[in-house]
A and B are shown apart, each in its own frame.
Chain A
Amino acid sequence: NAGVTQTPKFRVLKTGQSMTLLCAQDMNHEYMYWYRQDPGMGLRLIHYSVGEGTTAKGEVPDGYNVSRLKKQNFLLGLESAAPSQTSVYFCASGDDGNIQYFGAGTRLSVL
């Protein structure tokens, strides 16, 4: 029972490089979310999706794009990474928008 799986677990990028973080859930959840966690600031919502083919902006969407082509996958893209995007990224999914289940996180460093 995998739940929410994030890949990769760690990544180091140079400024200006691009990358995609993958989130996969096997619980048939409609809702999926991407958060970033920075020291002393809790989790902040980047983008979210309420169903396959839909995406919406969260609290801190600038510099990120997302896609939800398949119900089980939610991709977070960084087109041109900046040091300010150094963070821990968490994906979550939920079936009714109320209870969210989190992945283990991706630690990203941008040099």
Chain B
Amino acid sequence: KAGVTQTPRYLIKTRGQQVTLSCSPISGHRSVSWYQQTPGQGLQFLFEYFSETQRNKGNFPGRFSGRQFSNSRSEMNVSTLELGDSALYLCASRIWVGGQETQYFGPGTRLLVL
């Protein structure tokens, strides 16, 4: 099976712009989670989608939003970009097998806001 794919891999934007990131989970996986990773804060949970519904949400401002399509692909959008939004954005598809949860992460999208 192909792994989790994320596009684009690298992105440079300026303050005030908006950005849309895309994530395709492993085939058959219905849960997609998004994380922001920065050196100081580590991995912080943004939100999780399951069957097109947001199931969990982290403590991020409303500028961060997401959605999931019927084929389980997910997008996240950040509007009115700020310098502090520069980070690695990771998505993961999440499954439970035999009572064990596994999250498979994509390679991430590295966003630089100038």
Do A and B originate from a single complex?
A: no
